[in-house]
Chains A and B, each alone.
Chain A
Amino acid sequence: MRSILNKLLTAMRGGVNELGEAVVDGQGNRILEQELRDSEQELKQAKQELAALMAESASLARQIRSEQDNASKREQDARKSIAAGQEDLAREVAERIVGHERRAVELTQTRELLQQRIAGLKERVQRAEKQLADYRRELQVVKTNERVLRTTAQIDTNINSQKSSLNTAKETLERIRERQAREEDRQTASATLEKELTGADLDEKLKAAGIDGEQDAIDNVLARLKDSPAQ
């Protein structure tokens, strides 16, 4: 990932931004995509193998348990035979027990080897998954970069072809200010209109001329109260 980012930065600083000048060439891109496909393939195979080995290990565990169960069952048989004085029968059962125990030991050894292979394979799967995520991220960066370059080139060509919309930041700012001024004017106008409709503007004018309806009312009440003093 770091090498890709460095390549991109070097190319950008060098001004490789024109249309058709891909920063990481098509060849590099194809190599990345091939590596991605190879990793995906490897991961798929490793996972299938892992699943098969795990199934085999589970089957072995079942077989081991079965041999151990049989051995302990036969031990009871052997004890009963001895108690019944059937020495020959007990010997025959003992032979069976030895057979079960041997198979259990053999199967356990096989299973241990299998567990080691499973552990190794799990590690391989994890490595492949990590590598796959790395490749995907790299490819995404490269592809997005190319897309942005192609897109902006397309926008520029388009803007340049219709001269009217070719704007400098200063012209854009001028137009923003004009619109904001228009909006402000509209707001002022609508506020004025609202005042006129509610008569608030007239009240303001009267107040400014020293004619205050509210104050007059209070004065009138006071005068009335003074005319009829409390008894």
Chain B
Amino acid sequence: MDIQTLTLALGDSTHAGRRFDVMPITGDEPVLQVTVSGAEETPVYLTVTDTQILCLAYLFDEQELNPERLNELHENMLRLSVPMPLSSLGKTGDHYVVYGALSPTSGAAEIMQELVTLAENAIDLLQTFEDYLA
């Protein structure tokens, strides 16, 4: 599944009653910004490599957090990362992210399922961890 095929597939499809608004992010890497209807606030970014399809949504940046409760937040993030369907929690640069990786052989249905789940998880996580914001 490459970026072009995926862009076309997502633009025309609905999954579990959701529509997808796809916008390519300009730059050297093939990156898509996908907005899932009903979860527009947390766009999902998708990139395809040789070994995986990586989807991620931003939660918050380090400087937005209450530094005194950082350890507690990390502990809770690690614990929630395991049971969360199709998503894991991580950090890249200053960004705390929720992400999921799929096999490059995944079909459109699996990718749409991932996108919907990730966008919804991002919203749930933001609301869950709101108290840790500075």
Contact = CB atoms under 8 A, between A and B. Distances in A.
Interface of A: 17, 140, 143-144, 147-155, 157-158, 168-170, 172-173, 175-176, 179
Interface in B32-52: 33, 40-42, 45, 47, 49-52
B5 interface: no
Given A152-B56, A176-B42, A179-B41, 16 more contacts: A17-B92, A143-B50, A143-B51, A144-B51, A144-B52, A144-B54, A151-B54, A153-B93, A158-B27, A168-B60, A169-B61, A170-B133, A172-B41, A172-B42, A172-B126, A173-B127
B102 to A, nearest CB: 13
B109 interface: no
Nearest to B132: A169
A155 B49 contact: no
Given A17-B93, A150-B28, A169-B59, A155 B123 contact: no
B92 A152 contact: yes
Interface in B47-99: 47, 49-52, 54, 56, 59-61, 64, 92-95
Nearest to B124: A176
B126 A176 contact: yes
A175 B54 contact: no
B29 interface: yes
A21 to B, nearest CB: 11
Given A147-B54, A151-B31, A155-B45, A176 B92 contact: no
A150 B40 CA distance: 24
Contact of A140 (B33, B47, B51): B51
A16 to B, nearest CB: 10
B26 interface: yes
A136 to B, nearest CB: 9
A155 B57 CA distance: 11
**A-B pairs, 6 with minimum CB distance:** A154-B27, A169-B60, A17-B93, A175-B41, A158-B25, A151-B47
A140 B92 CA distance: 17
Contact of B29 (A140, A154, A168, A179): A154
Given A17-B93, A169-B64, A176-B126, A151 B51 contact: no
A168 B64 contact: yes
Nearest to B129: A169
B130 interface: yes
Nearest to A165: B43
B45 A170 contact: no
Nearest to B27: A154
A154 B60 contact: no
A179 B61 CA distance: 23
Contacts of A168: 60-61, 64
22 contacts: A143-B49, A143-B51, A147-B29, A147-B49, A148-B54, A151-B31, A152-B56, A152-B92, A152-B95, A154-B25, A155-B45, A158-B27, A168-B61, A168-B64, A169-B59, A169-B61, A170-B64, A170-B133, A172-B42, A172-B126, A173-B130, A176-B42
Nearest to A147: B49
Nearest to B47: A151
